[in-house]
């Protein structure tokens, strides 16, 4: 036995030396090829063989150790054994600590402090394993030719740009360039600019309301709503009246201004803007100044900004472009503004001057100055969203390029074509939050506007030539540009259906469990992203969300395995995610799905290959050969809650079918043929009658006697598990038979479609009814306040899928939370007073319910404590209580398209 232990130790020791050997080898390999790969070994293969042998020996020896339990306890009664174990144990822990430290992981393995329990140490090992394996993955990728340094200064998670080497880029750094850009990529510790913002970001699930409060160059005054700060900033909470009355007053006020709130502030001016003849007639293009001879001012103070505005007011045209960051922010942040006149370039630090940028409205809305943009669609939205800036008299060279029918419409193409300049569009996706701005990025940013006025001249001339001097085509470009400047920023709004839009794009068929998982994960992701002010792609990339939904891992570890690399928030909240997946697994697999799986030999849905562009890539899943379901042709489901219901008497089946109808109102699917077929007209009638008596809140009630024990169902050791499994198999057979015997259904199909429509309508109605039962946000806030005492909890205003089962579960897990049923209140659409409209709030507000990125840092400790030691299970308990209330606000996701 001692011998076994010794040999285990020895092989581990050898392993350890082998390990450090390989690290040395890595360095060597970088230094020069001719050096020996690893001293003492002929080649990599020899080394790997040796390493594997050692690992094998160690594994064997360790499994030969006395087992926990009686055997181990017996040996442990000998002091010699005990001492030996202690010594070797310490050695092992030291060894592990060293390896972990080497990989810069947390390591307190050897800390014999009893406070760090086994569990925590285990977590440390798991974390370290993840990190090391991740590194291995990256190195293997690199060895495989996936060279990550090809994606410089990109925030992880974006697609690789086309690589065009620009002349100026090449000049500055022929060989050093790569390491330089690589270094930037490594610049990880970029301070979150959001922390500096004077006005905090409003990520609430409420419509965007324009930020403008002064309107220069107005032909029609700014609506009182925007002009009178008092109204904007007065929150119902601050009124010295009872809450209900405050709500009412606030609602009245808001209603009064609703039209004003959503109209484009410069609609009137833009409607009445006419292009002067001078802009429709031919002029000679004015050559740009060489970029090296042009001064470039970096603007980061209010004085400089004011001076720039003055200067721009004198101009008859200037070019504008923006750089944007969207990975570490929910809505995105405009990080840079470039402006070029014929003589000068300006770069504005819009992170620094975010709250002052509105000053530029004077120049930007001055109708006598042309603002030249290239592809302004997003820019127009970002200007509104971040600064309350609008553009009057826009010329978009992208629109001009389209009108001219050019081969490609990108700016780099125009630069090449008109100015023979190669631009390096790699920088387009750089992390524009980096400060101070590296020279290369500054140069790139400048080149986006520096040549634009000349390009504008050329294109104007060409548009006139195109039409033999007739201004029609040019006029159309002005018109299109105007349409773009009339665009309004729309905030991404979460609705119960949002997930379907994303799911549909994936072109995969999901069964009910998978779809449920996707829906729950989607809601979790949206909520967390808003709360933490991160992009949804940062929280949990879509392709990982798809993978988790498809695989429905049984263990938290399985969720981790679906993600590589593991997004930090996933790691932190893996228990929460696990609960969601469990919740999804509790959904019944519907007959049709089981049949489908059976015909497929129960193989899981085939996944198309996903091209990953970055570790957190959110996008681009290639088309899949699988047939996919659109929202209205989702996997067919009949009104059977659990597939094992089939064996109950017909009556029970009927009723359980009705129960299911209530449960699945969200999905709005047509009923499937098979079950309907077995109903006679009379039965259908009866069914509808019974249905009309059915309590619409049935789905929220605990399951009646119909089902025995939910947990037992999923416990492989239980009888019920066994039975239900057998039933499922029987069901499949039975269904197969049914499928074969019924091919005559064509005629009935029409009838059924009609009925399905009816059902859907009813489902909608009952869903609407159920909404009425949802408490208003204010009431919930009050409830929370009551329950929490002085500590007021944030109440999400997000609309979301109700997850009754989950919250039930969570509640029982966390007894301390309130369980009163929310008071009834009638639901009203567009009731903004009920919403978390931060726009109405003062920035210095002490209202805890408002999002405040700063608070993260201050409250981090408190939060952690509340969330429990591991910070995940507890944190999750609060998060899934979405309200169904705001479902029909009618706003949809609308990300700026690029």
| Alpha carbon distances (Å) from 317 to 245, 312, 363 | 52, 8, 10
d(CA 540, CA 543): 8
The entry of ligand AMP, Zn ion, Mn ion, none that residue 533 binds, CB within 5 to 8 Å by partner kind: none
* Binding partner of residue 226 among Zn ion, Mn ion, ligand AMP, none, CB cut-off 5 to 8 Å per kind: none
Residue 559: how many CB atoms within 10 A of its CB? 26
Give the nearer residue to ligand AMP in terms of CB position, either 18 or 322. 322
Instruction: Specify the DSSP element, H or E, that contains 221.
Output: none
Which of 411/437 has CB closer to ligand AMP?
Answer: 411
Q: How far is CA 420 from the centre of its chain?
A: 39
**Residue among 233 and 480 whose Cβ is closer to Mn ion:** 480
- Say which entry of ligand AMP, Mn ion, Zn ion, none residue 66 contacts (CB below 5 to 8 A, set by partner kind): none
In whole angstroms, the minimum distance from the beta carbon of 428 to ligand AMP comes to 5
Of 232-240, 313-321, 496-504, 709-717, the window that binds Mn ion (rule: CB under 5 A) is 313-321
> Are 614 and 158 within 8 A, CB to CB?
yes
Q: Cβ of residue 342: shortest distance to ligand AMP, in angstroms?
A: 21
Alpha-carbon gap, residue 747 to 322, rounded angstroms: 60
| Tokens standing for residue 83 | 């001492």
CB of 379 to Zn ion, least distance (A): 9
User: Which residue of 412, 431, 440, 448 would you call a contact of Zn ion, by CB under 5 A?
Assistant: 448
Q: Which residue intervals of 257-334 are DSSP H helices?
A: 258-262, 267-271, 302-313
- CA-nearest of 235, 326, 317, 224 to 279 is 317
439 versus 788: smaller Cβ distance to Zn ion = 439
Q: How far is the CB of 851 from ligand AMP (least distance, A)?
A: 23
Q: How many helices (H) and strands (E) does the chain have?
A: 38, 6
Structure-block tokens of residue 24: 């040395």
Select the binding partner of residue 550 from Mn ion, Zn ion, ligand AMP, none (C-beta < 5 to 8 A, by kind): none
Residues that bind ligand AMP (CB under 6 A): 321-324, 375, 411, 428-429, 432, 448, 898
Please check whether residue 550 is in contact with residue 605, taking contact to mean a CB–CB distance below 8 angstroms. Answer: yes
Instruction: Give the total of residues touching Zn ion (CB under 5 A).
Output: 2
Residue nearer to Mn ion on the CB measure, 372 or 569: 372
In the complex with ligand AMP, the residue whose CB is nearer, 97 or 542, is 542
- Closest CB to Zn ion among 321 and 551? 321
- Residues 48-59 as b/e (b if ≥16 CB within 10 A, e otherwise) read eebbeebeebbe
> What is the residue-wise DSSP string for 696-765?
TTGGGSPP-TT---HHHHH-TTSHHHHHHHHHHHHHHHHHHHHHHH---THHHHHHHHHHHHHHHHHHHH
Contact in structure between 421 and 415 (CB atoms under 8 Å):
yes
Tell me, residue by residue from 601 to 620, as one string, x for binding to Zn ion by CB under 5 A and - for no binding.
--------------------
Is 321 among the residues that bind Mn ion (CB under 5 A)?
yes
Only one of the segments 200-208, 213-221, 271-279, 444-452 lies at the binding site for Zn ion (rule: CB under 5 A); that segment is 444-452
Q: Which is nearer to ligand AMP, 815 or 898 (CB)?
A: 898
425/809 with CB nearer ligand AMP: 425
Q: State the minimum distance, in angstroms, from the CB of residue 411 to ligand AMP.
A: 6
Q: How near is the Cβ of 338 to Mn ion at its closest, in Å?
A: 9
CB closer to Mn ion, 321 vs 349: 321
The helix, strand and coil proportions of the chain, stated in percent and rounded to the nearest 5, come to 55, 5, 40
Contact range with Mn ion by CB under 5 A, out of 47-55, 165-173, 316-324, 577-585: 316-324
Residue placing its CB nearer to ligand AMP in the complex, 345 or 852: 345
Question: Which is closer to ligand AMP, CB of 321 or CB of 671?
Answer: 321
- Interface with Mn ion: number of residues (CB under 5 A): 1
Q: Which of 759, 653, 767 is nearest to 699 (CA)?
A: 767
Of 321, 526, 551, 644, the one binding Zn ion (CB under 5 A) is: 321
- Give the range of 114-122, 277-285, 442-450, 844-852 binding Zn ion by CB under 5 A: 442-450
We find the least distance from the C-beta atom of residue 211 to Zn ion, in angstroms, to be 22
Q: Which residue is nearest to Zn ion (CB)?
A: 448
Q: Give the binding range for Mn ion (CB under 5 A) out of 185-193, 315-323, 750-758, 868-876.
A: 315-323
Q: Which is nearer to ligand AMP, 323 or 691 (CB)?
A: 323
8 A C-beta contact, residue 521 and residue 545? yes
What is d(CA 604, CA 553) in angstroms, rounded to the nearest whole number? 13
In the complex, what is the shortest distance from the CB of residue 324 to Mn ion, in angstroms, rounded to a whole number?
A: 8
Distance CA 851, CA 849 (A): 7
Q: C-beta of 586: minimal distance to ligand AMP in Å? A: 38
Q: How far is the CB of 376 from Zn ion (least distance, A)?
A: 11
Per DSSP, the three-state class of 41 is strand
Considering only the stretches 440-448, 654-662, 747-755, 876-884, report the one whose residues sit in contact with Zn ion under the rule CB under 5 A.
440-448
Part in contact with Zn ion (CB under 5 A); list of ranges 316-324, 325-333, 666-674, 873-881: 316-324
Min dist CB 375 to ligand AMP, Å, is 6
3-class DSSP assignment, residue 796: coil
From ligand AMP, Zn ion, Mn ion, none, which one binds at residue 455 (CB under 5 to 8 Å depending on kind)?
none
CB closer to ligand AMP out of 223 and 615: 615
Signed CA dihedral, 603, 604, 605, 610: sign only: negative
Nearest distance in Å: CB 844, Zn ion: 35
Minimum separation from the CB atom of position 454 to ligand AMP (A): 17
CB of 400 to ligand AMP, least distance (A): 15
Which stretch, 321-329, 462-470, 621-629, 770-778, contacts Mn ion (CB under 5 A)?
321-329
DSSP run (H or E) holding 96: helix 79-102
To the nearest whole angstrom, how small is the minimum distance from the Cβ of residue 477 to ligand AMP?
18
Cβ proximity to ligand AMP, 392 vs 445, nearer residue: 445
Positions in 508-547 near Zn ion (CB under 5 A): none
| Distances 83 to 5, 89, 110, 829 between C-alpha atoms, Å | 13, 10, 16, 72
Q: Reply yes or no: is the peptide bond before residue 695 cis, omega within 30 of 0.
A: no
Beta bridge partners of 319: 340, 372
525: its two tokens = 């992701």
Which DSSP string do the residues of 634-689 spell out, in sequence order? PSPB-S-SSGGGGGS-HHHHHHHHHHHHHHTGGG--PBPHHHHHT--HHHHHHHHH
Contacted by 365, from ligand AMP, Zn ion, Mn ion, none: CB < 5 to 8 Å by type = none
Crossing angle of helices 512-532 and 498-506, rounded to 10°: 120
Q: Which residues bind Mn ion (CB under 5 A)?
A: 321
């Amino acid at each position: 036995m001692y011998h076994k232990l010794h040999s285990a130790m020895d092989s581990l020791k050898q392993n350890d030396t082998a390990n450090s050997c390989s690290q040395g080898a890595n360095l060597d390999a970088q230094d020069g090829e001719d050096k020996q790969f690893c001293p003492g070994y002929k080649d990599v293969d020899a080394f790997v063989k040796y390493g594997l042998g050692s690992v094998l020996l160690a594994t064997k020896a360790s499994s030969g150790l006395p087992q926990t339990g009686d055997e181990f306890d017996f040996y442990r009664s000998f002091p010699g054994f005990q001492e030996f174990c202690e010594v070797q144990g310490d050695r092992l822990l030291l060894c592990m600590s060293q390896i972990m430290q080497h990989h810069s992981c947390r390591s307190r393995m050897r800390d014999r402090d009893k406070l760090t329990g086994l569990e925590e140490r285990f977590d440390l090992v798991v974390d370290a394993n993840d990190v090391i394996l991740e590194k291995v993955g990256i190195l293997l990728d690199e060895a495989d030719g996936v060279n990550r340094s090809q994606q410089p200064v990109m925030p992880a998670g974006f697609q690789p740009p086309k690589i065009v080497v620009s002349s100026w880029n090449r000049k500055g750094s022929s060989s050093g360039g790569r390491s330089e850009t690589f270094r930037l990529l490594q610049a990880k510790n970029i301070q979150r600019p959001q922390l500096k913002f004077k006005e905090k970001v409003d990520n609430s699930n409420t419509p965007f309301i324009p930020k403008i409060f002064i309107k220069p160059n107005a032909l029609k005054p700014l609506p009182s709503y925007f002009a009178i700060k008092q109204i904007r900033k007065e929150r119902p909470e601050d009124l010295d009246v009872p809450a209900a009355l405050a709500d009412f007053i606030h609602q009245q006020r808001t209603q009064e201004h609703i039209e004003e709130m959503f109209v484009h502030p410069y609609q009137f001016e833009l409607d009445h803007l006419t292009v002067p003849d001078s802009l429709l007639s031919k002029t000679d293009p004015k050559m740009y100044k060489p970029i090296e001879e042009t001064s470039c001012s970096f603007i980061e103070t209010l004085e400089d900004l004011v001076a720039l505005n003055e200067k721009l007011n004198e101009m008859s045209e200037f070019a504008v472009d923006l750089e944007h960051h969207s990975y570490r922010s929910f809505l995105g942040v405009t990080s840079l503004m470039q402006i070029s006149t014929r003589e000068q370039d300006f770069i504005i630090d819009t992170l620094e001057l975010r709250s002052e940028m509105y000053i530029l409205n004077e120049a930007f809305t001055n109708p006598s100055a042309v603002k030249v943009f290239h592809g302004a669609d997003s820019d127009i939205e970002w200007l509104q969203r971040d600064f309350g800036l609008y553009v009057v008299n826009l010329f978009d060279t992208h629109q001009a390029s389209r009108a001219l029918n050019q081969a490609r419409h990108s700016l780099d193409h125009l630069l090449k074509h008109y100015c023979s300049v190669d631009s390096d569009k790699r920088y387009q996706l750089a992390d524009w939050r980096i400060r101070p701005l590296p020279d290369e990025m500054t140069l790139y940013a400048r080149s986006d506007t520096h040549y634009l006025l000349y390009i504008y001249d050329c294109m104007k001339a060409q548009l006139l030539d195109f039409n033999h001097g007739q201004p029609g085509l040019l006029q159309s470009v002005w018109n299109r540009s105007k349409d773009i400047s009339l665009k309004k920023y729309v905030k991404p709004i979460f609705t119960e259906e949002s997930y379907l839009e994303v799911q549909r794009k994936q072109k995969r068929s999901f069964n009910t469990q998978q779809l449920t998982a996707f829906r729950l994960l989607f809601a979790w992701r949206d909520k967390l992203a808003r709360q933490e002010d991160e992009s949804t792609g940062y929280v949990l990339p879509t392709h990982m969300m798809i993978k988790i939904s498809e695989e429905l891992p049984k263990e938290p570890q399985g969720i981790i395995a679906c993600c590589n690399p593991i997004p930090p928030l996933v790691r932190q909240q893996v228990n929460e995610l696990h609960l969601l997946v469990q919740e999804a697994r509790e959904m019944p697999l519907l007959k049709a799905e089981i049949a489908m799986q059976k015909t497929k030999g129960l193989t899981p849905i085939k996944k198309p290959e996903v091209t990953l562009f970055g570790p957190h890539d959110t996008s681009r899943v290639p088309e899949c050969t699988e047939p996919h379901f659109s929202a209205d042709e989702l996997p067919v489901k009949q009104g059977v809650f659990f597939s094992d219901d089939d064996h109950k008497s017909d009556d029970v089946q009927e009723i359980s079918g009705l129960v299911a109808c209530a449960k699945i109102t969200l999905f709005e699917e047509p009923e499937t043929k098979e079950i309907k077929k077995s109903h006679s007209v009379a039965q259908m009638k009866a069914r509808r009658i019974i249905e009309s008596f059915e309590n619409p809140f049935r789905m929220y009630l605990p399951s009646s006697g119909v089902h025995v024990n939910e947990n037992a169902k999923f416990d492989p050791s239980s009888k019920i598990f066994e039975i239900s499994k057998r039933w499922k198999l029987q069901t499949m057979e039975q269904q197969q038979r049914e499928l074969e015997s019924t091919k005559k259904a064509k005629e009935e199909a029409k009838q059924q479609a009609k009925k399905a429509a009816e059902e859907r309508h009813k489902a909608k109605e009952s869903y609407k009814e159920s909404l009425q039962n949802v408490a208003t946000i204010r009431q919930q806030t009050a409830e929370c306040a009551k329950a929490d005492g002085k500590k007021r909890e944030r109440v999400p205003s997000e609309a979301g899928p109700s997850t009754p089962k989950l919250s039930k579960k969570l509640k029982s897990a966390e007894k301390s939370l309130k369980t009163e049923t929310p008071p009834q209140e009638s639901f009203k659409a567009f009731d903004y007073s009920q919403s978390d409209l931060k726009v109405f709030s003062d920035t210095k507000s002490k209202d805890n319910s408002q999002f405040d990125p700063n608070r993260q840092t201050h409250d981090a400790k408190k939060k952690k404590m509340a969330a429990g030691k591991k910070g995940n299970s507890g944190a999750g308990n609060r998060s899934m209580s979405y309200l169904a209330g705001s479902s029909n606000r009618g706003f949809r996701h609308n990300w700026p398209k690029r």
